[in-house]
Amino acid sequence: MRAGSGSCWLAAVAAAGFLSSVGAARAADETTLKQLETRAAAELPKMVAWRRDIHAHPELSGQEVRTAKLVADHLRGLGMEVRTGVGGTGVVALLKGGKPGNRVIALRADMDALPVQERTGLPFASKVTARNFGKDTPVMHACGHDGHTAILMGVAEMLAGMRSEFGGTVKFIFQPAEEGRSEHPADPNAPFGAKAMIADGALDKPKVDAIFGLHLAPGPSVGSVGYRVGSMMAGADGFRIKVTGRQTHGSRPWDGVDPIAASAQIINGLQTIVSRQLNISKAPVVVTIGAINGGNRENIIPDTVEMLGTLRTFDNAVRNDAKKRITLTAQSIAAASGATVEVSFTSVAYPPTVNPHPLSAQAVPVLNAVTGGKAIVIPLVSGSEDFSDYQLAVPGFFFILGAPPKGKTTATAAPNHSPLFDFDEDAMAIGARALSALALDQLARQ
């Protein structure tokens, strides 16, 4: 560990007289980190085996039955209190430390795979197909969630072996459906993924004080982790705008109200929200209309036009502001021509992933201690992650576990969601050490 990295084992001792015992504090710190290194190295072959098993048996969002059973059986075998069927197929388990302490720290992994046909050629490559919105579709762990699940199973075993050494509770959250849905729900507004876990009490009983999660990616290099303090990953909101006018003959527009002309103005108006209204020096914003449907022939002005769009934001206040402006802009422009408009934001909504400052200030030194100073500030990530839903409820810190496959670099590795996506399994030991250390560090802050 680098001198002066200031992790909380230091801070905990600091409260008890740090200035007079710097040497002792640092030794305790080193001992815990060394122990985590040894335990993670011993755990790595098991994590690799779990990862390959899960990889060969991927399950789409909301269908993670086999994976959840593998996880629940493992956690029960470690003597934990396990709750299954949380938020659908989610699993939540509690590990209570042997020392006194009231803090509850959650660690989260996502378990779902994607409708992607694997082309990695790996010996444990998926040959699985499953129903995706009613169609048989090839399924692949193309986003590393097999690794996330295996890492957290490893962490569970590491920390269960150390329970006499900490106080408080570690809550393990294995979440389904991070990637969305694989079938149409009876209620389109029913929550899925993190929202469903939260609605089902994953953060309550006992109440979580802080939560941590990670994501495998081709960068940074193996042995490093990437993070940002503040905005890190984009929020994504889908929306639908329905413009209603009054149908008439194309030769007599004055007899009706043209929703196509109004829609054209609305599309341009929406772009001025980004270019003229929002402070882009605070956080970038993207508004996209990706579909527009209305009319069926050249000489009929139709009754209605429907548009589908997405909003991407990196800040929760900007997100809320932009959503209001989208509605106001569409309503005002439609009203100017006598049309009416309905704007609705869909239930497929991911808030931006934002690492709060106080928790980040505690977490980053721990990541640096684990990686030997290789916690790297990365650029904004334009993808989304529903870890952000937990962050809206409790302080949460998310980071990237760098893992380009052996023989590849960040530049040459296939990106997440590619049919060629793979990762260096050695990185799982780093991930397990990092999550364990973050939990122990927080538990020491009684």
Q: How far is the CB of 383 from Ni ion (least distance, A)?
A: 8
- In the chain, the amino acid numbered 274 is V
**Is 130:59 a contact under the CB 8 Å cutoff?**
yes
Query: Comparing C-alpha atoms, which of 212, 199, 329 is closest to residue 277?
Result: 329
* Bridge pairing between strands 81-86 and 90-96: antiparallel
Beta carbon nearer to Ni ion, 333 or 428: 428
> How long, in residues, is the chain?
446
Residue 338, token pair as written in the block: 């006598």
Query: Comparing C-alpha atoms, which of 8, 38, 10, 5 is closest to residue 26?
Result: 10
Check if 425 is active-site: yes
Beta carbon nearer to Ni ion, 295 or 383: 383
Beta carbon nearer to Ni ion, 143 or 322: 143
Given the residues 59, 227, 350, 385, select the one marked as catalytic.
350
Q: How far is the CB of 183 from Ni ion (least distance, A)?
A: 20
**Is 337:257 a contact under the CB 8 Å cutoff?**
yes
Check if 350 is active-site: yes
Contact residues: Ni ion, CB under 5 A: 143
Ramachandran category for residue 193: left, alpha or beta (phi over 0 → left; psi -120 to 50 → alpha): left
Beta carbon nearer to Ni ion, 314 or 421: 421
As a whole number of angstroms, the distance between CA 119 and CA 380 comes to: 29
Strand partners of residue 227: 377
Q: How far is the CB of 177 from Ni ion (least distance, A)?
A: 11
Beta carbon nearer to Ni ion, 312 or 325: 312
Please state the φ and ψ torsions of residue 312, each to the nearest 5 degrees. -115, 130
Strand partners of residue 91: 84, 174
Strand partners of residue 225: 375, 401
Q: How far is the CB of 215 from Ni ion (least distance, A)?
A: 6
Q: How far is the CB of 161 from Ni ion (least distance, A)?
A: 29
Which residues are catalytically annotated? 350, 425
